[in-house]
Amino acid sequence: MSDAISWVKVSACTLPLANPISDAKVLTGRQKPMTEIALLFVEMKTRDGAEGVGFSYSKRAGGPGQFAHAKEIAPVLIGEDPNDIAKLWDKLCWAGASVGRSGLSVQAIGAFDVALWDMKAKRAGLSLAKLLGTHRDSVRCYNTSGGFLHTPLDQLMVNASASVAQGIGGIKLKVGQPDCDKDIERVSAVRQHLGDRFPIMVDANQQWDRPTAQRMCRRLEPMNLIWIEEPLDAYDHEGHATLAAQFDTPIATGEMLTSVQEHWDLIRHRAADYLMPDGPRVGGITPFLKIAQLAEHAGVMLAPHFAMELHIHLAATYKTEPWVEHFEWLEPLFNERIQIQDGRMLVPTLPGLGVSLSEQARRWTTASFEATA
């Protein structure tokens, strides 16, 4: 008789950030500075004693909604075979289908899906990357957390140097200020500071209109950037495609999309040179792998957004050399640390995701729910 899920715990956790975070969305008045991140954790056990842990997250808003949805759908997993991950993804999706198959509801499913894959890899005695099938044991990584717009220019240089000293392979800078000249000044200064060949990316967080994006891509073209990220609204696939076709500097986008279908629409428009899917946002590992297959078939490069604790494993399985985004923000939630060396992030070798929840994560937990057999 096959094993069966006997216990599922859903937890809401609020992680405070040391400093309020501002990007272009704050400067345009569309959002307030970010002061915390809401995490959704799922822990599960089976009748035979197998265990798995997964997570999803939300920034600025949506955390309570994810937790509420997860509580409603968690009981449908009780008694199910944890190996039937694709079947269980569909079952969770249809349990809440009246609120749609993208957005907040799917992000709640993501935490369950990651926990199921974590459990499957642990049962096999393999890291998640090895279970899925790797192309590499390390992945190029770049740091974003030191390049936000609230950071003064002189501190930007200090942060960049610190990241390089840590072994980070690239630096991403936020752009999209109302005064475009200030963006050019900051990028030019960091380019001069790090040299002509060091990998630098920029991210406008969807805050340019089409004429501004056209002008800024032209002005940034001589700076030898790895990519220009989200120059336009996340759903303006035609606009992104025009920029991707016109300029040598690659265009990156996709992090705000929350389904396989939305990513396919972006891919078929040829709107991204670098696709940036976010595993928790698209509903976990199961849909992420579908997106990666579509991207590989289209010859698109891959750079997953945020959540390096998960994405290091998924990026390691991609055929073309990818990038992983280094964010230290989530580190207090886990007992383990990902290693950085010579510009690359080393793929963890422990079974599953290779992470366990810390006591700090328990202390930051604000609510929980358990479903049992």
Catalytic (active-site) positions: 174, 305
Count of H-run helices and E-run strands, the chain: 14, 14
Q: How far apart are CA 304 and CA 274, in angstroms?
A: 9
Site of tokens 């810390």? 358
H-state helical runs in 221-307: 237-246, 260-268, 279-282, 285-298
Closest by Cα among 212, 223, 205 to 149 = 205
Task: Consult the annotation and say whether 309 binds a ligand.
Answer: no
Task: Consult the annotation and say whether 59 binds a ligand.
Answer: yes
Q: How far apart are CA 355 and CA 266, in angstroms?
A: 32
Task: Consult the annotation and say whether 265 binds a ligand.
Answer: no
Do 316 and 289 contact (CB within 8 A), yes or no? no
Task: Consult the annotation and say whether 24 binds a ligand.
Answer: yes
Task: Consult the annotation and say whether 205 binds a ligand.
Answer: yes
Two tokens at 209?
Answer: 């209109």
Task: Consult the annotation and say whether 36 binds a ligand.
Answer: no
Do 368 and 7 contact (CB within 8 A), yes or no? no
Task: Consult the annotation and say whether 325 binds a ligand.
Answer: yes
Q: How far apart are CA 318 and CA 133, in angstroms?
A: 9
Per DSSP, 14 falls in state E
Task: Consult the annotation and say whether 91 binds a ligand.
Answer: no
Task: Consult the annotation and say whether 108 binds a ligand.
Answer: no
Beta strand 170-174 with 200-203 is parallel
Task: Consult the annotation and say whether 23 binds a ligand.
Answer: yes
Task: Consult the annotation and say whether 60 binds a ligand.
Answer: yes
Give the residue numbers of the binding site: 23-25, 59-60, 172, 203, 205, 229, 255, 325
Give the residue numbers of the binding site for substrate: 23-25, 59-60, 172, 205, 325
Give the residue numbers of the binding site for Mg(2+): 203, 229, 255
